[in-house]
Amino acid sequence: MKKYVFAAASTLALAASSIAQAGPEAEVLHWWTSGGEAKSVAVLQQEFSANGGTWTDMPVAGGGGDAAMTALRARVLSGNAPTAVQLKGPAIQEWYEEGVLADISNVAEAEGWDKVLPASIAAHMKCEGQWCAAPVNVHRVDWLWANAEILSANGIEMPTSWDEFNAAAEKLQAAGVIPLAHGGQAWQDATVFEVVALGLLGAEDFHKAFVELDPTTLGSDKMVAVFDQMRRMRGYVDSNFPGRDWNLATSMVMNGEAAFQIMGDWAKGEFMAAGKVPGEDFLCASAPGAGFLYNVDSFAMFDVDGADKQDGQALLAKLIVGQNFQKVFNLNKGSIPARVDVAMDEFDSCAHLSASEMTASSEEGSLLPSYAHGMAMRGAQSGAITDVVTAHFNSDMSSAEAVKMLTQAVANSL
């Protein structure tokens, strides 16, 4: 009898020891599923595991994060929120207002985040003064990517104005080349639209239109010109564009099927993952116009029960903003570190251009949050604008009609 009691006690002791040593846990919901993105998130997963953590991956593909947000809402409503979720911009504040985010200020203060993050980026990570999210990177949205061989073969330089872009596109069409690789998804339409808008409106009017939601600017002749240019862009894409994912459009440029793509610098991650060399195989330049549109990826921590999950959040937050992950992740992802003290010597020429122009734009007052990527405004207003952009892009709606619809849609969403 004693033998069985001893055996049972030993089993219980082992079980208790196993539970005690379970260590930090994190279930991470994100939408990094393409080649360069998947490689980047794997870096975080590996570092988390190397520090004793257990990572449960929850990737949700599609819609530039729209599908992931649908999955998140279902989880939160069921009372089973993930440990950490890829969130950004005003969406962080919206979830905080629902009372479901955790406070990670103890990690931020211990790691000195305020000293190493630009104030504008840190502001997105705070909820009423407390830290509720950890920034991963800074993406530039207003990039123009090009196939170097196609441009060289057709005697085309990287355009520095929209007139130059139009002339290059028409020359390429005449030569039987698709000028612009594009995917017909709402967020991709919005990306092209805001890049064109920054170039034609200028930084000040862009801020008025897409941050302040100023009705005069939204309904201006300048905005009519933006839709005029969008109509021209529609004529530069191939007929198979509807529903195409952004990374497939990037592949078109990579493979010589198309000359240009307007996309954030996550596209560079795809080029690099395929072994392409910047300046040789592909070219990068800021899109025509002055300014810098930023998109900051970050992870918000949700309220969870259990010491293991809470320890997982703390470890994850520390690693995300740590110098090593900021360097390795952004080398893979195509973006630049959110920290200002990460050495850039291993980064490519496109990243150096991004870093220098971000600094210059910050000093000039033209460092602007991307509307298309959830940084400038809340979801209702962003969705209202994108609905108009997509409706115009996929119909014969006039620019004047689009501008009238735009002002009405924003007014109705407020």
CATH of the domain at 340: 3.40.190.10
Give a yes or no: residue 110 inside a domain. yes
What is the residue-averaged pLDDT of the chain?
A: 92
Query: In the prediction, which pLDDT does 2 show?
Result: 42
Distance CA 148, CA 284 (A): 9
My answer on whether 102 and 159 are in the same domain is no
Give a yes or no: residue 8 inside a domain. no
My answer on whether 152 and 289 are in the same domain is yes
**pLDDT band at residue 340 using 50, 70 and 90 as cut-offs:** confident
Distance CA 184, CA 240 (A): 9
Give a yes or no: residue 94 inside a domain. yes
Question: Which range has highest mean pLDDT (83-92, 110-119, 146-155)?
Answer: 146-155
My answer on whether 127 and 224 are in the same domain is no
Residues 184-206, mean pLDDT to the nearest whole number? 97
Query: Is 301's pLDDT higher than 90?
Result: yes
My answer on whether 45 and 154 are in the same domain is no
My answer on whether 309 and 268 are in the same domain is no
My answer on whether 280 and 301 are in the same domain is no
Distance CA 268, CA 272 (A): 6
Q: Which of 65-69, 239-243, 367-371 has the lowest mean pLDDT?
A: 65-69
pTM of the model: 0.82
My answer on whether 272 and 159 are in the same domain is yes
Q: What are residue 131's DSSP bridge partners?
A: 126
Q: What are residue 368's DSSP bridge partners?
A: 293
Give a yes or no: residue 73 inside a domain. yes
User: How many domains does the structure of the chain reveal?
Assistant: 2
My answer on whether 155 and 218 are in the same domain is yes
Query: Is 7's pLDDT higher than 60?
Result: no
My answer on whether 277 and 150 are in the same domain is yes
Strands of the sheet with 292-295, listed across from one edge: 139-140, 292-295, 367-369
Distance CA 47, CA 325 (A): 8
Residues 214-239, mean pLDDT to the nearest whole number? 98
Give a yes or no: residue 356 inside a domain. no
Site of tokens 């470890």:
315
My answer on whether 117 and 98 are in the same domain is yes
Query: Is 350's pLDDT higher than 90?
Result: yes
Q: Is 199 within 8 Å of 230 (Cβ atoms)?
A: no
Q: Is 156 helix (H, G, I), strand (E, B) or coil?
A: coil
Burial 336-346 (b: 16+ CB within 10 A, else e): bbbbeebeeee
My answer on whether 288 and 328 are in the same domain is no
**What residues make up the domain containing 402?**
141-294+370-413
My answer on whether 254 and 160 are in the same domain is yes
Give a yes or no: residue 357 inside a domain. no
Give a yes or no: residue 355 inside a domain. no
Give a yes or no: residue 182 inside a domain. yes
Q: Is 284 within 8 Å of 160 (Cβ atoms)?
A: no
What residue spans of 155-245 are helical by DSSP H? Answer: 162-174, 186-210, 215-218, 221-234
